[in-house]
Amino acid sequence: MNPPVHRSPQARSGPWRRPLLLLAVLLLAAARQPATPPGFHPELPAPTGPMPVGTSALHLVDAARQDPWRPGLSRELMVQLWYPAARPGPPAPYVGPAVAKVLARGWGFPEGAVTGLRGHATADAPLDRTRGRLPVVLFSPGDGGNRRDNTALTEDLASRGYLVAAVDHLGDGSAGELPDGRVVGRSKPSGDTEAEILR
């Protein structure tokens, strides 16, 4: 009967050394690669409906209500509308230049990739009034979201005859831009209770 063989920890881990070393080298190489390739230009998918799309932003202020996450300020919201337009026109930017800078840093994109990003809706295009009353879809993004989330979907719905209203809950979501150029970032503390959120 052969005596039991006791291997040292070094011997037991030996077969794994080479694959682990290779994995470490690959991870280091990936980390050295740029976040996005040069000339990277993201695009939004085109709407599939038959109608041209317009978009317009509304700045709403409730002076009687204090902002729950920005003490001393009145509650402000930005609401973006997408709707069937009377005629097509030049596409509006995805976001303004100030927010584009913030998003580019957060996403790891070159700044030009975000400032140059266009949707397929024309800013402040006239509404197609021949369609009569439109069905309305309210898009209220969740915690940390903003009115730009799902732009491809909101544009597509508008191209099919819907009026879509998307809400920026300023202070609750990611960066939002007001008409005067102010950029409002997330100021809502983590761990809010439902009562604090709804007050």
The per-residue pLDDT for range 52-98, each reduced to its tens digit, is 999 999 999 999 998 887 788 888 888 999 999 999 999 998 888 88
The size of the chain, in residues, is 199
Cβ-in-10-Å burial (0-12, 13-18, 19+) of 159 comes to buried
Q: Which pLDDT belongs to residue 51?
A: 97
Residue 91 CA, distance from chain mean position: 18
Q: Which pLDDT belongs to residue 174?
A: 65
Looking at the DSSP bridge assignments, the partners of residue 145 are none
DSSP codes of every residue in 108-166: T--HHHHHT-EEEEEETPPB-GGG-S--EEEE---TB--TTTTHHHHHHHHHTT-EEEE
13-17, 65-69, 148-152, 163-167: which has the minimum mean pLDDT? 13-17
Residue 2 pLDDT level (bands cut at 50, 70, 90): low
Q: Which pLDDT belongs to residue 124?
A: 96
Single pTM value for the model: 0.71
